[in-house]
Amino acid sequence: MTDVARFYILSHIFISFIGAVLLIAIWYNIRSRFKQLLEEDDTQKRVDKGLLYLSFAVFIWVLAGCWSYAGNAFSFFDTQGYQLGVNLFSIVNNMFMLLALFYFYYAPQFIYNKEKNIQKIIAVIVGVSVVTFLLPMVLKENNIVQGVKISNIPDLILSGFLCYLLGVSFYRTFAYRGLKIVGALSIVVIVLTFISQLSEVFLDFGSDFTNNFIKICAKTSLISIFLVLATTWVIRLASMPKPNEMSISFLDWSLLKLNIPTKGIFDQTIDFGSKTTQYKNLLKLTIRRKYGEGDSQSILVNAGGEIKNQTYLTRIIENINDILQLDANQKLERRDLFTFIGESRYRLRIIPANISIDKTLLEEFSESTENKEYKEFTADLS
């Protein structure tokens, strides 16, 4: 083992260990400070679970570094047993990264809270690792052709896909938080992470020093991005209004009063004007939350549901922000008012005791032909 390789592996172990410990510390702080908010619904745990899986992925880097050092120090670097260990660490690391993305609010739609898709991708990860392990035994001397290691190509393709998922998720998250520079930097870091793996396939790519330098820079930068991400989650949770501090009153058609002290909204009257669709959708969610029980407190949001897609929920928030002319730090997010409870269902976060609806408005709304199902919610009131 060369001095350059030894320096890289030991640096990799130390940096990854410190990064993992810091992520675990932030996770523990989040769980301690925001326990009530996180346990409001099971789905709200996605923030701390996502952070926990990220820290596990970084811990796997520590173990993989120790395995690599042992393989070089005790000269079993070229054995099948060593390669099996490398593949196992790769499977577990990719799995933890994927599980973390499952809880990323701004991850691509086909992966965020889509358990079946996650299971399929994990199956692909396992399959690719098995192929990577078996190909050298099948190809033997034909495994390396013109400086290209054939058996590592599937793993490189998989790494490219995971880098794409990380890049999209990180950029969206940071950009929405007003940290576009950090978002752009995260893309650069993830591209660098992918480049650092090219030498595993293209054996003539760069020198030993260059490749190890790129790897250590990519790994250190990626851990830094993880830490910044964790910090934004802490800030987000600290500014998220609690359900029992918010209140809403429907006064008349298109007119309501909203109170969210955390966001600087104190009993402000909001006139939706001609935006009747958004007003009616909010009223439906409010009626269900106030008078419904169990699953009937939530509403189905998909192509076959009462609300056709999530865009309609977003428009409600956008209209409130526009009408109240809230600044960047006070603007409401969809998660402030609505909770995703699984299976395409959403529920208003405000507790029933803090909801009031004008009786005449309620009667007129439920008497409408298109809203007849809401009569059962208000039957006991008449």
pLDDT tens-place values along the chain, 382 residues long: 778 888 889 999 999 999 999 999 999 888 888 776 666 655 444 567 888 999 999 999 999 999 999 998 888 888 888 888 888 888 888 889 888 888 887 888 777 666 777 788 888 888 888 888 888 888 888 888 888 888 888 888 888 999 999 999 999 989 888 889 999 999 999 999 999 999 888 988 888 888 889 999 999 999 999 999 999 888 888 888 888 899 999 999 999 999 999 888 999 999 998 888 899 999 999 999 998 888 888 998 887 788 888 888 989 999 999 999 888 778 888 888 998 887 778 899 999 999 999 988 988 888 887 877 887 776 665 5
Range of the domain at 32: 3-239
Q: Are 303 and 265 in contact (CB under 8 A)?
A: no
Query: Which domain-ending residue is among 209, 239, 269?
Result: 239
Q: Specify the residue for token string 């609690």.
A: 242
204 and 64 within one domain: yes
The total of structural domains in the chain comes to 2
Q: So what's the pLDDT on residue 50?
A: 85
Predicted TM-score (pTM) of the model is 0.79
Q: So what's the pLDDT on residue 132?
A: 80
Query: Which domain-ending residue is among 224, 239, 254?
Result: 239
Q: Are 281 and 317 in contact (CB under 8 A)?
A: no
314 and 210 within one domain: no
108 and 127 within one domain: yes
95 and 143 within one domain: yes
Residue 6: phi and psi, rounded to 5, are: -65, -45
209 and 73 within one domain: yes
d(CA 289, CA 287): 5
Q: So what's the pLDDT on residue 88?
A: 85
Q: Token digits for 94?
A: 């990719």
Nearest one of 28, 161, 184, 168 to 94, comparing CA atoms: 161
51 and 175 within one domain: yes
Q: Are 166 and 191 in contact (CB under 8 A)?
A: no
215 and 81 within one domain: yes
CATH code (residue 87): 1.20.1070
Query: Which domain-ending residue is among 202, 217, 239?
Result: 239
**How would you classify the pairing of strands 265-271 and 255-260?**
antiparallel
134 and 122 within one domain: yes
140 and 273 within one domain: no
Chain-centroid distance, C-alpha 331 = 21
324 and 207 within one domain: no
Three-state SS string over the chain comes to: CCHHHHHHHHHHHHHHHHHHHHHHHHHHHHHHHCHHHHCCCHHHHHHHHHHHHHHHHHHHHHHHHHHHHHHHHCCCCCCHHHHHHHHHHHHHHHHHHHHHHHCCCCCCCCCCCCHHHHHHHHHHHHHHHHHHHHHHHHHHHHHEECCEEHHHHHHHHHHHHHHHHHHHHHHHHHHHCCCHHHHHHHHHHHHHHHHCCHHHCECCCCCHHHHHHHHHHHHHHHHHHHHHHHHHHHHHHHHCCCHHHCEEEEEECCEEEEEEHHHCEEEEEEECCCCHHHHHHHHHHHHHHHHCCHHHHCEEECCCCCECCHHHHHHHHHHHHHHHCCCCCCCCCHHHHEEEEECCEEEECCCHHHEEECHHHHHHHHHCHHHHHHHHHHHHHC
226 and 210 within one domain: yes
Q: Specify the residue for token string 């990719």.
A: 94
154 and 206 within one domain: yes
d(CA 48, CA 71): 35
